[in-house]
Amino acid sequence: MAINIDIESKTFTLHTIKSTYQMKVDAHGNLLHTYYGPCNHGTDFSYLIAPADRGFSGQPAGAARDRTYSMDHYPLEYPVHGNGDYRIKALKAGIVGSVPALDLRYHSYQVTEGKYGLQGLPAMFAAQNGDVQTLQVVLKDLYEEIYVTLYYGVFEKKNVITRAAVIENRGKEALCVTRAMSMALDFLENDKELIHFYGKHQWERQYERTAPLHGISEISSTRGMSSHQHNPFVILCGRNTTEDYGDCYGISLLYSGGFRIQVETDQLEQLRVVCGIDDDEFKWIVGSGEQFATPEVVLCFTDRGLTDLSHDISDAFQSNLIRSIWKDRQRPILVNNWEATYFDFNGEKLVNIARQAAQIGLDMLVLDDGWFGKRNDDNSGMGDWQVNEKKLGCSLRELAERIEKIGLIFGIWVEFEMVSEDSELYRSNPDWAMVIPGRDPVRSRNQLVLDLSRRDVIAHLKATIDKIMHLADIQYVKWDVNRSLENVFSGYSPSLSQGAVRHKYVLGLYELMEHMAENYPDVLLEGCAGGGGRFDAGMLYYTPQIWCSDNTDAIERLRIHYGTSFGYPMSSVAAHVSVCPNHQNGRTTPFQTRAVCAMQGAFGYELDLEKLSEEELAQAKAQTEFYRKHGELFHKGRYYRLSSPFENRDFTAWSYVSQDQAKVLLSVVFTDLNGNPKTLRIRLKGLDAGAVYVLEGKEYTGAALMQAGLVLPVPKCDYDAWSVLLEKQ
Ligand code: GLA
């Protein structure tokens, strides 16, 4: 049984194939967190908690005479503000007009088959009968009719446990919530390291591994989106954990807005992690009879190292989070005109690119920014979703039809969440933009943010989506957003708590995404936020792939892809071959290296195909043919990080291994050149040890390739690449 409950001792134990998770109600009715780690059956782990009188750690109601009992040092399942716990909390709330204070005690529980859902929010789902069970544990405030239901979705075979909390006000007075985290996780020891993924625009998800501070370490975004700067996915692992060995916990928040993940080492060297919505400006009023649901968080534990963790998370997302029908389909190989033309194009130019694309064998042309309104640069026109027929020289339908005749399908770029002040939309609806009345707004890319918390804005955008989707046979949409939120003020309703607007914005965004998913289920939706500024598991629920970074330099992409691969399926990483010198950093790399790097994800080209040399054209044809032929391997194969770009200065290597271990694509990109070079070798992973693999006519056993490895060729030029296929005999 995935969920095991001992009613007498009020112990709740959740099992997956690689982990056990336990909580227990104590004599005072508090819900303690007793264990999360390797599989264990039949143990009540509360014996590990050692009561002791700790100075300045007060006693909650009902325990005044027992000075060894304090919420300040007990491991808790969902810690709240106001009951004597001075560590980071999951929940801070109080009756309006009073001060925030709660004292939640156990009330009841319920187990159901299948997976709970969260209204308006992304959530993992059951893919087939019996693959998930739900546990609800209900807590109630000692004094008020405030209930908190903790939800657990146990995906036993997928090795994943999801969590979320729903706060319900059954009392008469309104409740003011200023912090509502999706989860807290307490560990009795601080024997762990934190792996997180930081960055900036054009440099996302850089890997960092560090010991948590005494005090609070924080990974967060106050930007209204998950952001380029930090990612809502972290790993806690043992100090000795490697790719292939050791304990690790993955924590992934299914949320695309601002978030906060905090890790606290407390006075007793215990560790607490909390994760949820950014509470910097958060204030949500839960009226009488109302509820508030937190976003979902996905937890995954394995004692088999980081590669195993990444595989489990990828598999679970692939089967139980990504909904699009495209998740099981090979993605079209595309050419996007952004880096080819920027805003400077017309219909003829696009058709010429499409002709060249057809010669190469590509599947799709994507028309990027600049096709609508008065939009010949990024200072105006945003919000005016009327086709600029003058610029195209024809209607969108005519353009799409010309492209179809050439043999390509047609995709388009949109950015519905934003508005330029120099636009018809802004001139007619200035109050639709989020600005603080009387203050000059903070502009970014010279645009403002539309107030997605407003029903009229959502209705307008749904109608806009429908209008555009009927303008032509559009088979792919790149949904972009190009600034962080700031001065988030909604003029919609004076009674609205302004502290609720950021979250309502995200709910509005999800509603639009849901509209896309429901009405245009066949369309391939690609997420984007100036590249990878909203690369999160919440988005994957709607978009099976995400433009990974505005940085298309193959060498910088090595690090970006490496970091991304820890928490996300590689099939969700969109990556393109672009021109050299690279537009972002001026680097020149071989054409083949750019393709080898871009084949780490959903592959395409983003350069003026008309300017390719004969040699490049031939290479592009071969690359396209190769990617299509081995599509299944790229799409469904297991991805192995073989050498880290953060540690190895000579090369970065990775491989894709087919599910049946019959085919292996090994890719190596050399990142340094030396005179009198040392011999470089690489060990492979995930092969069938007893089988024989053939590479360039030579035979090797799987065991030899994994235990001793292969000799790498000497690179012939800067950033040379070596990408080879090994096949089982
Ligand atoms: C963002 C995207 C780019 C491109 C531009 C267009 O930066 O990440 O790929 O679409 O917007 O303005």
* pLDDT, tens digit (0-9, with 9 covering 90-100), for 15-24: 999 999 999 9
Question: What are the tokens at 643?
Answer: 């050498």
Give the residues across from 276 on adjacent strands.
181, 260
Instruction: Name the pLDDT band for 494 (thresholds 50, 70, 90).
Output: low
Its pTM stands at 0.98
Instruction: Name the pLDDT band for 470 (thresholds 50, 70, 90).
Output: very high
* pLDDT for position 495: 72
Q: What is the mean pLDDT of residues 33-59?
A: 97
Question: Does ligand 1 lie within 6 Å of residue 372's CB atom?
Answer: no
Question: Which amino acid residue places its CA nearest to atom 11 of ligand 1?
Answer: 530
Q: How far is CA 583 from CA 228, 375, 556, 599, in A?
A: 19, 21, 12, 20
Q: Is 632 a catalytic residue?
A: no
Q: What is the DSSP string of 463-512?
A: HHHHHHHTTS-EEEEEE---S---S----S-TTS-GGGHHHHHHHHHHHH
Question: Does ligand 1 lie within 6 Å of residue 479's CB atom?
Answer: no
The closest-lying atom of ligand 1 relative to the alpha carbon of residue 368 is 10
| Separation between Cα atoms, residue 532 and residue 288, nearest integer Å | 40
Question: Does ligand 1 lie within 6 Å of residue 499's CB atom?
Answer: no
- Identify which of 412, 550, 552 to mutate to test ligand 1's pocket (most ligand atoms within 8 A of the CB): 550
- Identify which of 204, 368, 412 to mutate to test ligand 1's pocket (most ligand atoms within 8 A of the CB): 368
Give me ligand 1 centre to Cα 480, in Å.
7
| Separation between Cα atoms, residue 711 and residue 523, nearest integer Å | 44
Give me ligand 1 centre to Cα 639, in Å.
27
The whole-chain average pLDDT of the chain stands at: 97
* pLDDT for position 191: 94
Per-residue buried b or exposed e for 74-104, using 16+ beta carbons within 10 Å of the residue's own CB:
bbbbbbbbbbbbebbbbbbbbbeeeebbbbb
Q: What is the mean pLDDT of residues 375-399?
A: 98
Instruction: Name the pLDDT band for 343 (thresholds 50, 70, 90).
Output: very high
* pLDDT for position 75: 98
Q: Is 536 a catalytic residue?
A: yes
Instruction: Name the pLDDT band for 208 (thresholds 50, 70, 90).
Output: very high
Kindly name the residue from 77, 417, 608, 616 that is annotated as catalytic. 616
* pLDDT for position 524: 98
* pLDDT for position 1: 80
Q: What single letter denotes the amino acid at residue 504?
A: K
Instruction: Name the pLDDT band for 550 (thresholds 50, 70, 90).
Output: very high
Q: What is the mean pLDDT of residues 461-473?
A: 98
The gap between the terminal CA atoms of the chain, to the nearest Å, is 41
Give me ligand 1 centre to Cα 537, in Å.
21
Question: Which amino acid residue places its CA nearest to atom 2 of ligand 1?
Answer: 530
For residue range 299-316, what is the model confidence (pLDDT) as tens digits? 999 999 999 999 999 999
| Separation between Cα atoms, residue 125 and residue 155, nearest integer Å | 9
Kindly name the residue from 363, 536, 550, 608 that is annotated as catalytic. 536
Instruction: Name the pLDDT band for 492 (thresholds 50, 70, 90).
Output: confident
Question: Does ligand 1 lie within 6 Å of residue 369's CB atom?
Answer: yes
User: Residue 325: pLDDT above 70?
Assistant: yes
